[in-house]
Amino acid sequence: MQSFYPLRNTVQPYDWGSTHVIQQLLGLDVDGAPAAELWLGAHPVAPSLTVHDGTATSLVDLVRDDPVATLGQRVQDTYGPRLPYLLKVLAAERGLSLQVHPRPHLARAGFNRENAAGVPLGAPERSFRDDQHKPEMIVALTPFEGLAGFRRPRQALALLAGLDGTLVGRMRDALGRGRSADAVRRAFELAVHARTADDAAPDLDRSLASVGRRAGGGGEAAASGATEGAPGGAAAAVRARADAVALRLGEQYPGDPGVLASYLLNVFTLEPGEAVFLAPGQVHAYVRGAGVEIMASSDNVLRAGLTHKRVDVDALLECSDFVPAPPPRPATSRLARGLTTYRVPIREFGLVVGDVLPVDGELALPGEGPRVVLALGGVLRLRAGAGADTCTVAAGESVFVPDAAGTLSVCGEGRVTVAYVP
């Protein structure tokens, strides 16, 4: 088995994607069409291809043909003959759907239920596309903004106070009654179920008009630099930040009451190099920005609004965790001066992202198991094992490195990301 397998990867042209970030990374024409995600991995929906002697082979088949050599005995014994992670570059120009990913037992149950019902795997009415959970982590490449995890009812009530609209009033009533998680769940259910109401659009317009009056046209400017939970006079900045997100989503998804659900969720922002972890069951929605995303190899996304794709409110509610909590930040450590390792309490994946400089010489990378290496910029040289087996990758190029290749190191000048199994 060879040490390096150059990859050809799929670009997903979802309508919320950026019109330039992934295109520039891959050296494609910037023609105004969106490119939302670059997939690197072996998920059956869009597996990467490896090319050898002019013949293209799916990474799925490469792994299945020799799982011990590609994955290593440890990974093969744990996950079977499959690559357990999926690496992506995500670039969002518009907000993504209000969504959640299922826990393992719920993923299996949902997948088996739809199989038994005869729903074709690729059908648009399908909610569960595989039987895997999908914890995920994103490391920002640009300033990045999103929503994740529920606020405490008292915080959400403060943000909804003074806003007009029947739905807003009902959400406030729900938040003021009962235990914390129950109150949040009732308010969230009201918001996501309202999309089927005849008066949803005019009622939302009324609410957003009051948001606009409160923001006074300066909501986004006032929100810049605000931090959730900060002391002192930060309450007004937090409110302005939440208003700015709601107004932005309201413009992008007119008539969708999922916009009001955004007030129930924590707003987070990441600077380049910062990361956030999203566990199964944590409701979230990315708002804008670009990042490197890694997840368990799954395409199970249950949506409740802010999307033109399939919405399955009941499945999302079944799989969601309503205990108020912000999204956790991954543990980080310095692998080298410019390289950071990101780890979360998930066994399927770890990630290295950062800059390689000529003065660093040759830097050791995670040295066993299946690895996917993507050059985000510059030109890098990879070395496998202690011998002379090397490979050069330039910006936008990627390779699969099997366990049999042994240790892995990098030198040169550029930005790199490496996905691996801890």
Q: What is the structure's pLDDT at 234?
A: 74
* Dist CA 180 CA 186 (whole Å): 10
Q: What is the pLDDT of residues 178-204, one digit of tens each?
A: 889 999 999 999 999 998 888 899 999
pTM (global) more than 0.85: yes
Beta bridge partners of 11: 38
Q: What is the pLDDT of residues 316-334, one digit of tens each?
A: 999 999 999 999 999 999 9
Flag whether 305 is in a domain.
yes
Flag whether 246 is in a domain.
yes
Give the residue ranges of the chain where pLDDT is below 70.
Answer: 217-233
Do 278 and 344 have their domain in common?
no
Q: Give the range of the structural domain holding residue 395, as residue numbers without chain letter.
A: 331-420
Do 199 and 298 have their domain in common?
yes
Residue where a domain terminates, one of 288, 319, 350:
319
Flag whether 220 is in a domain.
yes
Burial readout 59-95 (b: 16 or more C-beta within 10 A, e: otherwise):
bbebbeeebebbbbeebbeebebbbbbbbbbbbbbbb
Do 174 and 301 have their domain in common?
yes
Do 226 and 357 have their domain in common?
no
Do 176 and 303 have their domain in common?
yes
Residue where a domain terminates, one of 287, 319, 351:
319
Flag whether 286 is in a domain.
yes
Q: What is the pLDDT of residues 46-97, one digit of tens each?
A: 999 998 777 899 999 999 999 999 999 999 999 999 999 999 999 999 999 9
Do 266 and 378 have their domain in common?
no
Number of domains in the chain: 2
Closest CA to 98 of 321, 304, 310, 320: 304
Cβ atoms of 414 and 378 within 8 Å: the answer is: yes
Flag whether 394 is in a domain.
yes
Do 243 and 280 have their domain in common?
yes
Q: What is the structure's pLDDT at 55?
A: 84
Q: What is the structure's pLDDT at 179?
A: 86
Do 297 and 208 have their domain in common?
yes
Q: Is 109 exposed, middle or buried (0-12, 13-18, 19+ CB in 10 A)?
A: middle
* Residue that has been written with the tokens 């490896």 in this structure: 50
Do 307 and 160 have their domain in common?
yes
Do 234 and 187 have their domain in common?
yes
Flag whether 14 is in a domain.
no
* Dist CA 143 CA 18 (whole Å): 14
Flag whether 411 is in a domain.
yes
* Dist CA 3 CA 138 (whole Å): 28
* Dist CA 381 CA 394 (whole Å): 9
Do 315 and 180 have their domain in common?
yes
| 3-state SS class at 18 | strand
Q: What is the structure's pLDDT at 217?
A: 53
Q: What is the CATH number of the domain that holds 342?
A: 2.60.120.10
Residue where a domain terminates, one of 259, 284, 319:
319
Flag whether 113 is in a domain.
no
Do 303 and 164 have their domain in common?
yes
